[in-house]
Amino acid sequence: MALPDFSDFNIDDDDMLMHEAIHQIGPEFGFDDPLFALLKEEFKSSMISVTDAGGNFQIVLNKDQMKPWRHIIATKQDFMGAKQQLVLHSREEASGSGLKDLFTPDEQGYVTIPPLKIFPAGMIIIEPIVPDKFIEELNQSTANQWRPRGTLSWFKFGHERPPWFEAMGDYTHPSRNNGASLFYKRDLLLNAEQKVYVASELEITFRVNVLEERGRGELEPIVIPNIKLRQGEVLNIGRVEFGSALQVAVKVVDSKGRGVEGVTVRHKDEAGLGGSEGITAADGIALLNIPRYSRGEFFVQNRFEYMPDDLFQKPLAEGISYIVGGEEDAGRVFILPLSDNFLALLFN
């Protein structure tokens, strides 16, 4: 297993540092893992408990020393982890946000949280490779933020789904479960082999992106299709290499065909997953990097005006669809017209 470098996290608070480290490591480690001992030693943490035969546990927290937001994380071998968000203080007086205690201690000081659900998992072993010519540039672009890393997303599911699929889906929305959610590894170290739990008994297509400076997108994502594992099964995918993206130009024009400066143009693929973005120059042109042999949409959205009938308050947007091939389409210019009404909202 490739371990994260704790020095990458520019955080002074030990509790927050442990939080970040555990999220980098994911639920794949266990009590017999040397990493477990490392965490306990590094962060002087005794807030770790093992469930009894009935699945119950007890953890003692010092409320006076805790920050407003904390999590309880549950892990078990060959299962996706679970995370329970806690609010141990109210921020109402400090910020006026009206944040309330999610779980209030009883007279004896005990807090009872709802049962945490964990879901069966298999494991993939993967080594995402960034070509040498990009490594130095990535390190420079992120030197003042964090170590360059990859992100793993569950891109698409097959039609045959296990009986617990809907319950797991609810766990992607903490607001539906009193703050409970899935705990799984999203961030990947680059050019290093690592183990990742994925939901078992479910066909999944994965996408791996390089998390780099916002909007650059110079490396196209890696798509790993149709992986279906039994619980406890291990699949070694091995080395997967990122390819170079295709740079195109998107010209934003008004109703008279004039270029519009200062507009953020975004890209998403045919599955609706976001990609690179760019800001238009004086000539109305923004440069974007997109995957070769792909199709999707270039669009501009207004974050402050919403479709009135949309339950999820989707931002108003205008855009165009696109299809590109290989290197022959490098530098190709796409025209994105915006209506006068939309421009008035955008610059109001």
Q: Write down the pLDDT at residue 49.
A: 76
Q: What is the pLDDT of residue 256?
A: 95
Residues 291, 245 contacting (CB under 8 angstroms): yes
Q: Which residue has the higher pLDDT, 177 or 196?
A: 196
**8 has a pLDDT exceeding 80:** no
Contact 209, 150 (CB under 8 A): yes
Q: Give the model confidence (pLDDT) of 211-247 as tens digits.
A: 765 446 678 888 899 999 999 999 999 999 988 889 9
Q: Which of 51-55, 97-101, 179-183, 283-287 has the lowest mean pLDDT?
A: 97-101
Structural domains of the chain, with CATH: 62-244 (no CATH), 246-346 (2.60.40.10)
Q: b/e string for 18-43 if b means 16 or more Cβ within 10 A?
A: bbbbbbbbbbbbeeeeebeeebeeeb
Does residue 273 or residue 267 have the better pLDDT? 267
What does the pLDDT look like over 170-187, one tens digit per residue? Answer: 888 777 777 888 888 888
Most confident of 85-94, 228-237, 306-315: 228-237
pLDDT of residue 109: 75
CA distance 37 to 35: 5
What global pTM score does this model have?
Answer: 0.72
pLDDT digits 0-9 by tens, 133-160 = 777 666 665 444 546 678 888 878 989 9
Which of 202-206, 212-216, 266-270 is predicted most confidently?
A: 202-206
Q: Of 55-69, 242-256, 306-320, where does the model show the most confidence?
A: 242-256
- CA–CA separation, 251 vs 262, rounded Å? 11
Residue 331: per-residue pLDDT: 94
